[in-house]
Chain A
Amino acid sequence: MNRLTLWFHKIGSPPTFYRIAGALAPWCFGIAIALGALALYGGLVLAPRDYQQGDAYRIIFIHVPCAWMSLFTYGFMAVNAFIALVWRIKLSEILAMASAPIGAAFTFITLVTGSIWGKPMWGTWWTWDARLTSELVLLFLYFGVIGLYAAIDDKRKAARAASFLALIGIVNVPIVHFSVNWWNTLHQGSTVRLMGPSKISGDMLWPLLTMALATHIWFFASLFARTRVGLLELEGGKDWARDVALADAARDETVTAHG
Chain B
Amino acid sequence: MGGYGAYIWPAYAVFLVVLLLDAIAPRLRRRRVLAEIRGKLKRRTAREATR
A244 interface residue per 8 A CB criterion: yes
Interface string of A63-74 (1 = CB under 8 A from B): 100100000000
Interface string of A221-259 (1 = CB under 8 A from B): 110011011001100110001101110110000000000
- How near does chain B come to A68, taking the closest CB pair, in angstroms? 14
Which of these, A55, A112, A226, contacts B1 with CB under 8 Å? A55
Interface size on A, residues (CB 8 A): 41
**Which A residues touch B18, using CB under 8 A?**
105, 108-109
Interface size on B, residues (CB 8 A): 30
Assembly CA distance A94 to B38 (angstroms): 22
Are B11 and A101 in contact (CB-based, < 8 A)?
A: no
Which residues 92-137 of A have a CB within 8 angstroms of B? 101-102, 105, 108-109, 112-113, 116-117, 119-120
**Which B residues touch A112, using CB under 8 A?**
11, 14
A220 interface residue per 8 A CB criterion: no
A58 interface residue per 8 A CB criterion: yes
**Which A residues touch B29, using CB under 8 A?**
229
Are A119 and B38 in contact (CB-based, < 8 A)?
A: no
- How near does chain A come to B6, taking the closest CB pair, in angstroms? 9
Q: Taking CB as reference atom, which chain B residue is nearest A237?
A: B40
Question: Known contacts A55-B2, A229-B29, A232-B30; is A109 also within 8 Å of B15 by CB?
Answer: yes
Assembly CA distance A125 to B14 (angstroms): 15
Which of these, A55, A109, A117, A222, contacts B26 with CB under 8 Å? A222
- How near does chain B come to A26, taking the closest CB pair, in angstroms? 11
Assembly CA distance A221 to B33 (angstroms): 19
Question: Known contacts A58-B8, A101-B25, A222-B23; is A236 also within 8 Å of B40 by CB?
Answer: yes
Are A249 and B11 in contact (CB-based, < 8 A)?
A: no
Which residues 125-174 of A have a CB within 8 angstroms of B? none
Question: Known contacts A112-B14, A113-B15; is A101 also within 8 Å of B7 by CB?
Answer: no
A204 interface residue per 8 A CB criterion: no
Which of these, A62, A108, A226, contacts B11 with CB under 8 Å? A62
Assembly CA distance A226 to B36 (angstroms): 17
- How near does chain A come to B8, taking the closest CB pair, in angstroms? 5
- How near does chain B come to A67, taking the closest CB pair, in angstroms? 12
**Which A residues touch B1, using CB under 8 A?**
55, 58
Listed by A's residue number, 16 A-B pairs whose Cβ atoms lie within 8 Å are A56-B7, A56-B8, A59-B11, A66-B15, A101-B22, A108-B18, A112-B11, A113-B14, A119-B7, A120-B4, A225-B23, A225-B26, A225-B30, A226-B26, A241-B37, A248-B34
Q: Give the interface of A toward B (CB within 8 A).
A: 29, 40, 44, 49, 54-56, 58-59, 62-63, 66, 101-102, 105, 108-109, 112-113, 116-117, 119-120, 218, 221-222, 225-226, 228-229, 232-233, 236-237, 241-242, 244-246, 248-249
